[in-house]
Amino acid sequence: FGTVMMVKQTVTLVLVAVLLSGCSTDASSATPNSDATAEQHAVDVICSQLALDTAPPIVRENCLPGSDSREWDVNGAGDHALQGFSDDISYPAGAEAQFYVTSTRSDRFRSDIYRLGYYDGAGARKVGSVEVTDAGPQPDCLWDSVTLLYDCANWRRSFSWRIPHDAVSGLYFARLVRPSGDNETWRGDGSSMGPVIGGGVFTKTGAVPGEDPAPEVGPHAYGASGASGVLRSALLEPHASHVWFVVRNDRRKADLLFQTSDTTWQAYNRWGGVGP
């Protein structure tokens, strides 16, 4: 890309069946909490019987235990008060990835790094973490009124992460997460509901503490239904966003190549208030 642009994505995770078929492949993605239990069992059998020391590196990687989706997922496009991007979409193993983040509600946040994959159906595995203690709002992005392009190359760098030299190729993401404030809502969409009116109808006038109790967390990844169908966030740390990037292995030949849709993410994200 000629310029660095903010990317805000809602990514659909797709399980690529060939990851554990014995084929050599050079990237991966997965769907956590899949209903295809028979297929999942078959993969579990493969992992239990596989000679992992001689298997392709992505097969070995995806047979490792993963992280709970309540730990690494986000609600929708993530926390609007904590958004960022990386200085490139694709890095070779061993490179240093640079990240640019705007934080409007906290002067500190944490970035946990995950690799997307099968991982016994968990969907991702944590591979690193960075603490940022000097966060804050970034300046307004550069705006082209003709092309409707938002260019955030005027932001300062927030943190960097050195990709391990032995990192397995695939789709990675930095999960930016900030502490919850005193006035934060429990609702997944960030809204607050007022007290109950006749007939059980809620009004969006701002909840008084104690008058908008949170429902119990259900088994679904996004929690139980709250009033008016708004879902309760079941995430362990809900105020979080994703920054996606690719780690590649330029020295390795592979039978299959997984290509990400990063140009589509650029074209159809709604950062800056302009979108499809």
Burial class (CB in 10 A: 0-12, 13-18, 19+), 144: exposed
- 47 and 121 inside one domain: no
Say yes or no to pLDDT of 57 above 60: yes
Q: Cβ distance 141 to 156 under 8 Å?
A: no
| DSSP type of residue 256 | B
- 90 and 47 inside one domain: no
Domain's final residue, options 63, 98, 121: 63
Cα 190 to chain centroid, rounded = 18
- 46 and 106 inside one domain: no
The answer as to whether 255 is a domain residue is: yes
- 43 and 142 inside one domain: no
Candidates 274, 170, 190; CA nearest to 231 is 190
Tokens found for residue 54: 């001689």
- 113 and 174 inside one domain: yes
pTM for the full model? 0.72
The answer as to whether 144 is a domain residue is: yes
| pLDDT per position as a tens digit, 207-254 | 454 455 555 555 444 444 444 444 555 788 888 999 999 999 988 888
- 154 and 81 inside one domain: yes
- 79 and 144 inside one domain: yes
- 46 and 128 inside one domain: no
- 170 and 241 inside one domain: yes
The answer as to whether 87 is a domain residue is: yes
Domain residues for the domain of 240 are 64-181+236-264
| pLDDT per position as a tens digit, 117-134 | 999 889 999 999 999 999
Tokens found for residue 75: 């609600």
- 54 and 141 inside one domain: no
Q: Cβ distance 58 to 168 under 8 Å?
A: yes
Quote the mean pLDDT of the chain: 74
Q: What is the 3-state secondary structure (H, E, C) of 186-232?
A: CECCCCCCCCEEHHHEECCCCCCCCCCCCCCCCCCCCCCECHHHCEE
Give the 3-state secondary structure of residue 174: strand
Using a pLDDT cut of 90, give the percent of the chain over it: 38
How would you classify the pairing of strands 90-92 and 240-248?
parallel
The answer as to whether 53 is a domain residue is: yes
Say yes or no to pLDDT of 85 above 90: yes
- 161 and 82 inside one domain: yes
- 72 and 131 inside one domain: yes
Domain count, the chain: 2
Q: Where are the alpha helices (DSSP H) in 3-83?
A: 37-49, 57-62, 69-72
Candidates 246, 264, 265; CA nearest to 28 is 246
Identify the residue with better confidence: 259 or 12: 259
